[in-house]
């Protein structure tokens, strides 16, 4: 784990430190970056929904200002989390990914889902608490599987209509209540491309803040069936030869890691490093 970014519970009633400003997967940015002096931000009269202590970046305390709308701040602009992912600073992306998940959770749990009362931040724990009925809400995490299906020297890759033009990726999907991750892998592969697989092998995992997934990465060998793309979800799916692959997903994604790892093992090349 990196030393530059470390999550921690910080008390927002203590002044000082730095803050990032988030609204709907976007961060405020100026020529000095995304970290603003917190006491200076407080004087700006921003549309604040929630303030959270996040942790330490380069040893300095960092807080989050979660806004109701992306207000204009002179000399600053807004930039999306995906853009930060594609830039090279992994530690900064980890901080911003965490801030996104905490901010989204805090803004969506301002009122109790059971009785409608305003929720309060709990001391000593990352949790929202309803003083009226006692319900607690922790940050939301959605387990999702992601799988590379192969047939010898061929990789089964697919396109969602949301992808950048030409990009093909591994198959992914959310785990449903009552199923194991392995059952989810088999179900999603069947639903999205209509093929059957042999028992999937777990490879590695990755936290993924778009919006709050925990990606559980697998490899599976093809068993039977012809590719039939799921209408709406899958625009196109094909077998690609190992030496003739299409444009692939971002380097920082576990999708890319699963593909690169298979290529490395198959072709006897050095194995890639899992993006943290
Ligand atoms: N890190 C990586 O390399 C990659 C990550 N992913 C992530 O995997 C996750 C799942 O992938 P998809 O193919 O989009 O899922 P999917 O195949 O299950 O279909 C998405 C649909 O599931 C439903 N849904 C949304 N949120 C849900 C939830 N929390 N639980 C159950 N159903 C939900 C919605 O109807 C949505 O349109 C997404 O968060 C996506 O960003 C996907 C590909 C690569
Ligand atoms: Mg899917
Ligand atoms: Zn309540």
C-alpha 50: how far from its chain's center?
21
Backbone angles phi, psi at 255, to 5 degrees: -55, -50
Spatial distance between the Cα atoms of 158 and 167, rounded to a whole number of angstroms: 8
38 and 88 co-located in one domain = yes
- How far, in Å, is the centroid of ligand 3 from the Cα of 237? 46
List, in sequence order, the alpha helices (H) in the chain: 38-42, 81-86, 90-108, 181-193, 254-267
Q: Is the CB of 254 under 6 A from ligand 1?
A: yes
93 and 49 co-located in one domain = yes
103 and 148 co-located in one domain = no
Nearest-CA residue for ligand 1 atom 40 is 210
Pairing mode, strands 77-80 and 60-67: unpaired
Q: Give domain status of residue 132, yes or no.
A: no
Spatial distance between the Cα atoms of 129 and 110, rounded to a whole number of angstroms: 10
73 and 163 co-located in one domain = no
Q: Give domain status of residue 197, yes or no.
A: yes
Report how many domains make up the chain. 2
Q: Give domain status of residue 256, yes or no.
A: yes
Tens of pLDDT along 179-223? Answer: 999 999 999 999 999 999 999 999 999 999 999 999 999 999 999
Which residues are annotated as part of the binding site for Zn(2+)?
112, 115, 130, 133
Give the domain extent around 44: 5-108
Residue 8: CB atoms within 10 A of its CB come to: 11
104 is written with which tokens?
């989204």
Q: What is the pTM of this model?
A: 0.94
Q: Give domain status of residue 46, yes or no.
A: yes
210 and 158 co-located in one domain = yes
- What pLDDT score does 2 carry? 61
193 and 263 co-located in one domain = yes
- How far, in Å, is the centroid of ligand 2 from the Cα of 186? 12
**CATH number reported for the structural domain that contains residue 35 in this entry:** 3.90.79.20
258 and 146 co-located in one domain = yes
Tens of pLDDT along 8-25? Answer: 999 999 999 999 999 999
């Amino acid at each position: 784990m990196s030393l530059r970014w470390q999550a921690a519970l910080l008390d927002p009633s203590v002044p000082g430190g730095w803050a990032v400003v988030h609204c709907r997967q976007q961060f405020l940015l100026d020529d000095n970056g995304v970290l603003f002096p917190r006491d200076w931000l407080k004087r700006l009269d921003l549309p604040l929904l929630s303030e959270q202590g996040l942790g330490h970046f380069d040893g300095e305390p960092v807080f989050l200002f979660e806004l109701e709308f992306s207000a204009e701040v002179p000399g600053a602009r807004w930039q999306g989390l995906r853009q930060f992912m594609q830039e090279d600073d992994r530690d900064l992306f980890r901080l911003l990914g965490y801030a996104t998940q905490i901010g989204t959770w805090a803004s969506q749990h301002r009122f109790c889902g059971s009785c409608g009362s305003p929720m309060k931040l709990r001391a000593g724990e990352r949790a929202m608490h309803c003083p009226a009925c006692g319900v607690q809400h922790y940050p939301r995490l959605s387990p999702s599987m992601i799988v590379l299906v192969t047939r010898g020297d061929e990789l089964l890759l697919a396109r969602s209509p949301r992808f950048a033009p030409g990009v093909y990726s591994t198959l992914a999907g959310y785990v449903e209540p009552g199923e194991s991750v392995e059952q989810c892998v088999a179900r999603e592969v069947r639903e999205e491309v209509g093929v059957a697989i042999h028992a999937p092998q777990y490879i590695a995992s990755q936290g993924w803040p778009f919006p709050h997934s925990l990606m559980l990465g697998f490899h599976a060998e093809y068993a039977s069936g012809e590719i039939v793309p799921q209408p709406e979800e899958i625009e196109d799916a094909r077998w690609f030869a190992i030496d003739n692959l299409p444009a692939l997903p971002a380097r920082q994604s576990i999708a890319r890691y699963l593909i690169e790892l298979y290529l490395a093992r198959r072709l006897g090349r050095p194995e890639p490093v899992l993006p943290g």
